[in-house]
Amino acid sequence: MNETDKNIYKLKSKVMKKTFTFLMVALVCISMTNCNRRIKDQLEDLDNRVTALEDAVKKTNKDISALQSIVNALQNNVYVTNVITTSEGYTIQFSDGTSAVISNGQDGVNAPVISVRQDTDGFYYWTLDGEWLIVDGKKVRANGKDGVDGTNGINGKDAITPQVRINEDTKEWEISTDDGFTWIPTGVIAEGKDGEDGSVIVGGDSEGSLFESVDTSSKEYVIITLADGTELKLARYDSSAPMFVIKNAPQLAQIEYGKTEVFEVEAENIAEYIINTPQGWKADYENNALTITAPAKDMCHFDKEGKIAVTVISEAGMTSIVKLNVMAGEWIQEMELRTLTFEDADAKFSEYELGYCGATISTWSDLIAADQYMDELIYSFSGEPYYWYDENNTELFHTFPYNYGTYAYWGGGHAISNYANWDFETYGDYMSQLTVIGEEGAGGHNGSSNFCMHFGYADDSGYNGTEELPSFMFADGKERVIDHIWINNSTYALNCYVNGNGLTDPVGENDKAWVIARGFDENDEFVTESIFYLVDGPDGIVTEWTKWDLTSLGKVWRVEFNMAGTNDNGYGFSQPAYFAYDDVAVQFPGEKVFK
């Protein structure tokens, strides 16, 4: 092979290698693309199947409610006034103003066959796959029953609406007859059947519907065939039948004790009527108005809830029964408790600046002094106070009082803290004045981080120069009830209670120390006070977070705190005037509920 041939051979070899490499890369890319496409298709298919199952559950529960409405119409001799065909199924309207929506079937989803069947007692009961649905050894009735002596049964007590779901793990349909508290397997697996053409119909071989067909061909009846073959025959309305529709009737009419409500009625062909009421209730019909009066609250015997049943009869002797669920009661203003926790996660206030020290306050922890004594944050000499505001929550606001010519903490105040230690002797002087007895890093109530430390007192010894005691108030000017706060001792106070110091003796058998909370109204007039004992002898010293009920103050705008005790060194109260508090709960108006 000459030199030229060798060069050509080498060139061909290089070209072939490059071509082979390119082909391999291309094949890998094509393979990865196909793999990604398959994965994407599989995920889309899975998502479609999950969506189909969720839709099937929603649809089945709606069908169960519709079937119960139909059964109630049969029981009450209610007539069909109109059948509206929609793209989603049928809407059947009845002469009492109610309606039932029957939706089309859903292909591709196996579902249990839930139906109803009339028993020998004349009532309808729920069936599951052709057998009676049995709960606690009894059949489950699908329609309510009238009580004795003219009274009426109450929905939910004598008739049950089952609910269904698909178990996420087993993919098995389950049924509940107690509002979803317990679930019973049906033995039917939801997956495993693909739709043939994706169509939706009422009837045919489609699964996922309680209804087989709706026959509207007769002028006298609407015949509904259920999935198990059961036929329900509903009479159509004509001029010989009575019509009595309570307009805008609620599912439950809530009427205050002793009060009367008037319901507008659309009525036709009414020759006679009979009204049955629960005990203690009154009802009358006149001039297209149904008047209902609830029993008085102080009545000796009455039914708090029940049904008003109006039986109407036409000239031709045809009857219909219209029922309205009623409940007597009163509107109660619920109480909502909002809690000031001092925790960063609960901070809802707007960011603000403490200009005297250049601090930006956006969380509660921003209000904690880096040094417990003489830190600029809590010892302002500039004429600007340290303050905090639980805005958009309890609305409680606090600012250091002006005492001894300054806003420094030595003049009193409520400072946010997270200092805690069980060693109250080592951390038992004024250098640890913001420390609470407790676990380091979790010294607040319920193991939280932050809390608030009070300092300040005033007495009549003649040696105390405090002019303004620390307090908090509602910044929006409204009076509210402080439900409670949680209170604990500081390490400084605890050490002095137990061991004393150069200014005070330890507490003796008859010594006490207490906190006074004084409430003021919106005019800043004193209302009343409450006392909490931090010390009641050596064995009665508070060493854990303790609840202090402040509801006895009533509605207040401002609460002022003072400390006092029996220890007196000749210059007035001699114990450190410190205590920690946390989780201040305030009562706010909640929802109004009918009870």
309-322 pLDDT per residue, tens:
999 999 999 999 99
Q: Which of 27-36, 124-133, 280-289 has the highest mean pLDDT?
A: 280-289
Task: Say which residues have a Cβ less than 8 Å from residue 259's Cβ, sequence separation at least 6.
Answer: 293, 294
Question: Is a pLDDT exceeding 50 seen at residue 299?
Answer: yes
Q: How confident is the model at residue 419 (pLDDT cuts 50, 70, 90)?
A: very high
Is pLDDT above 80 for 176?
yes
Across the range 410-437, mean pLDDT stands at 97
pLDDT at 5: 46
Per-residue burial over 541-553, b if 16 or more Cβ lie within 10 Å, else e, is: bbeebeebebeeb
Instruction: State the pLDDT at residue 157.
Output: 47
Q: Is the pLDDT of residue 323 over 50?
A: yes
Residue-level pLDDT at 259: 97
Are 535 and 511 in contact by the 8 Å Cβ rule? The answer is yes
Long-range contacts made by residues 366-373, C-beta under 8 angstroms, separation at least 24? 367/415, 367/416, 368/415, 368/416, 368/417, 368/418, 368/434, 368/450, 369/415, 369/417, 369/434, 372/417, 372/419, 372/431, 372/432, 372/433, 372/434, 372/435, 373/430, 373/431, 373/433
Per DSSP, what are the bridge partners of residue 235? 221
- pLDDT for residue 47: 58
pLDDT for the residue 207: 52
At residue 152, the pLDDT reads 42
Q: Which residue has the higher pLDDT, 318 or 2?
A: 318
- Whether the per-residue pLDDT at 48 is higher than 80: the answer is no
pLDDT score, position 530: 98
Task: State mean pLDDT over 520-538.
Answer: 98
What confidence category does residue 335 fall into, taking pLDDT thresholds of 50, 70 and 90?
very high
- The band of 21, judged by pLDDT with boundaries at 50, 70 and 90, is very low
For residue 41, the model assigns a pLDDT of: 57
> DSSP letter string over 133-195?
-EETTEE-BSS--B-STT-B--TTTS----EEEE-TTT-EEEEESSTTSS-EEEEEES-S---
pLDDT of residue 104: 77
32 burial (CB, 10 Å; 0-12 / 13-18 / 19+) is: exposed
pLDDT (tens digit per residue) in 241-259: 899 999 999 989 999 999 9
Instruction: Return the pLDDT at 195.
Output: 39
Confidence of residue 12 (pLDDT cuts 50, 70, 90): very low
- Whether the pLDDT of residue 4 is over 90: the answer is no
Does the reported pTM lie above 0.75? no
**Range name among 169-183, 383-397, 408-422 with the lowest pLDDT average:** 169-183
Q: Could you give the residue ranges of the DSSP H alpha helices within 394-553?
A: 491-499
For residue 546, pLDDT beyond 80: yes
Residue 203 above 60 pLDDT? no
C-alpha dihedral sign at 272, 278, 279, 284: negative
Q: Residue 235 — pLDDT band, cuts 50, 70, 90?
A: confident
Say whether pLDDT at 428 is over 70: yes
* Stretch among 200-209, 406-415, 429-438, 452-461 having the lowest mean pLDDT: 200-209
pLDDT in the model for residue 154: 40
pLDDT at 44: 58
pLDDT score recorded for residue 179:
87
Over residues 166-181, mean pLDDT: 88
Task: Give me the residues paired with residue 509 across strands.
Answer: none
- In order of start, what are the domains of the chain with their CATH numbers? 65-235 (no CATH), 243-329 (2.60.40.10), 337-593 (2.60.120.1350)
**Residue 36 binned pLDDT confidence (cut-offs 50, 70, 90):** low
Percent of the chain with pLDDT over 70: 85
Of the listed ranges 148-152, 217-221, 276-280, 297-301, the least confidently predicted one is 148-152
231-235/80-86 β-pairing? unpaired
pLDDT exceeds 50 at position 146 = no
Least-confidence region, from 67-76, 325-334, 437-446: 67-76
pLDDT at 280 exceeding the cut of 90: yes
Residue 19 has what pLDDT?
A: 42
| Residue 496, pLDDT above cutoff 90 | yes
Confidence band, pLDDT 50/70/90 cuts, at residue 446: very high
Q: Where does residue 179 rank: exposed (0-12), middle (13-18), buried (19+ CB within 10 A)? A: exposed
Q: Looking at residue 59, what is its pLDDT? A: 86
Percent of the chain with pLDDT over 90: 63
Average pLDDT over residues 135-158: 61
pLDDT at 10: 44
Query: Is the pLDDT reported for residue 193 higher than 50?
Result: no
The reported pLDDT for the residue numbered 266 is 93
- 581 against 51, higher pLDDT: 581
Arithmetic mean of pLDDT over the chain: 87
